[in-house]
């Protein structure tokens, strides 16, 4: 089997889509023959990359048994592939690449998705969004995001002590809550601070790692509520600092709120937290549902229900010892890549 993997965004740029692309390519390489055509220059070069991919596919599509797109944005290239070859075309759909509304996206891009031979939504929620837009159900196969559990970075006691010293935050005898990711409205940080955090007991500390357009408004909310001693914005953190946070925290929080046309397709950070035996409490919406194994790796809580969050946080009862192995059994990239390969093989045989 000869596969061409096309990724419109790829490292060295950092983000969930880039990490998925890198992990997908490297793990699929271990089980089959894969070439890659990737954009290493970020969103500012997406138009140039579209035309680069266009001409590459015109001349080379026929050399491959299957072409797989990392997301749905390049789906208008499918008719070109059909004109020049009989190569099968598949794609992963993550979430935003199906629900995005701006710039006529729903009219210019989404209609082409259905022309792929097989579409792999990363969650049941994303699958439903595909169905709502006319993608035939017989073309859809849900395959979740994966995590490379063998490459988890851990901090030594000295590194943790150094990190805590740098934070200069009194955490002794405290319950440490952690959120990590882009600071955007749908992540729910501001809502959680205003409706839940200020009503938790005084020995609960909330650490928020990450940056984004909501940073200043969240910081202002903390100041206005006079809880700056209990809610600490950490800004951007390195990979080793992120590992330290996962190791010192007691609970990982993902209190997302619904925002039209900008939903959570999966929630890979919940797997990352769980790989450190860190249990999660997350809003029971969208693709997040597929990243939490209820009662085993964490709890799902009704969106925007302050009392439910407070009760779940203060009466948390999950055994941390089974979290990492349970997630490994479901989401390890070795399993996910094999699942993709099996689907590709079945498609080609059909």
pLDDT of 334 > 90? The answer is yes
| Mean pLDDT score of the chain | 95
138 contacts: CB under 8 Å, gap ≥ 6: none
Lowest mean pLDDT among 10-24, 68-82, 332-346: 10-24
CA distance 84 to 56: 11
Question: Residue 148 and residue 34: Cα distance in Å, rounded?
Answer: 19
Mean pLDDT to the nearest integer, 189-213:
95
- Helix (H) or strand (E) segment spanning residue 339: helix 333-349
pLDDT band (50, 70, 90) for residue 17:
confident
Residue reference for tokens 């940080």: 189
Query: What's residue 168's pLDDT?
Result: 83
Helix (H, G, I), strand (E, B) or coil at 240: helix
**pLDDT one-digit tens code per residue, 222-238:** 999 999 999 999 999 99
- Name the pTM for this structure: 0.92
Whether the Cβ atoms of residue 241 and residue 156 lie closer than 8 Å to each other: no
Residue 182: CA atoms inside 13 Å, Cβ hemisphere, count? 12
Give the pLDDT band (50/70/90) at residue 14: confident
Residue 43: the pLDDT is 80
Task: Let me know: does 41 contact 49? Beta carbons within 8 Å.
Answer: yes
The 10s digit of each residue's pLDDT in 272-318 is 999 999 999 999 999 999 999 999 999 999 999 999 999 999 999 89
Q: Is the pLDDT of residue 261 over 80?
A: no
Q: Could you give the C-alpha distances from 229 to 177, 204, 209, 327, in angstroms and in order? A: 14, 10, 16, 34
Distance (Å, rounded) from C-alpha 128 to C-alpha 139?
Answer: 13
The DSSP secondary structure of 53-71, one letter per residue, reads HHHHHHHHGGG-SEEEESS
CA 198, distance to chain mean position in Å, is 28
Asked whether 269 and 181 are in contact (CB, 8 A), the reply is yes
In the chain, the percentage of residues whose pLDDT exceeds 70 is 100
pLDDT of amino acid 114: 95
Taking the chain, what is the end-to-end CA distance rounded to the nearest angstrom?
14
Render pLDDT for 114-129 as a digit per residue (tens, 0 to 9).
999 999 999 999 999 9
Q: Give the range among 19-28, 41-50, 172-181 with minimum mean pLDDT.
A: 41-50
Share of the chain above pLDDT 90, in %: 89
């Amino acid at each position: 089997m000869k596969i061409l993997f096309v990724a419109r965004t790829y490292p060295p740029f950092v983000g969930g889509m880039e990490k998925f692309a890198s992990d997908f390519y490297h793990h699929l390489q271990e089980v089959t023959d894969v070439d890659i055509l990737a954009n290493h220059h970020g969103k500012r070069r997406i138009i140039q990359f579209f035309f680069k991919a266009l001409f590459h596919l015109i001349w080379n599509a026929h050399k491959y048994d299957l072409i797989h797109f990392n997301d749905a944005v390049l789906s208008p290239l499918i008719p070109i592939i059909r004109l020049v070859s009989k190569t099968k075309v598949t794609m992963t759909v993550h979430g935003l690449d199906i629900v995005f509304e701006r710039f006529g996206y729903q009219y210019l891009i989404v209609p082409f998705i259905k022309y792929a031979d097989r579409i792999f939504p990363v969650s049941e929620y994303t699958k439903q969004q595909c169905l709502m837009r006319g993608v035939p159900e017989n073309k859809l196969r849900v395959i979740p995001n994966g995590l490379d559990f063998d490459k988890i970075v851990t901090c030594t006691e000295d590194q943790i002590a150094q990190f805590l010293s740098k934070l200069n935050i009194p955490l002794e005898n405290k319950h440490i809550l952690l959120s990590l990711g882009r600071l955007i409205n749908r992540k729910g940080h501001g809502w959680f601070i205003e409706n839940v955090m200020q009503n938790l007991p005084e020995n609960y500390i909330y650490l928020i790692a990450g940056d984004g357009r909501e940073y200043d408004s969240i910081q202002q909310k903390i100041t206005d509520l006079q809880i700056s001693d209990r809610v600490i914005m950490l800004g951007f953190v390195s990979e080793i600092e992120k590992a330290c946070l996962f190791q010192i925290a007691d609970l990982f929080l993902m209190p997302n709120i619904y925002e039209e046309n900008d939903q959570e397709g999966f929630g890979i950070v919940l797997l990352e937290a769980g790989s450190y035996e860190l249990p999660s409490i997350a809003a029971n919406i969208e693709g997040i549902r597929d990243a939490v194994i209820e009662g085993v790796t964490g709890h799902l809580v009704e969106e925007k229900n302050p009392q439910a969050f407070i009760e779940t946080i203060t009466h948390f009862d999950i055994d941390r010892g089974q979290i990492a192995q349970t997630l490994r059994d479901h989401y390890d990239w070795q399993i996910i890549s094999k699942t993709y390969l099996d689907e590709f093989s079945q498609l080609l045989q059909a």
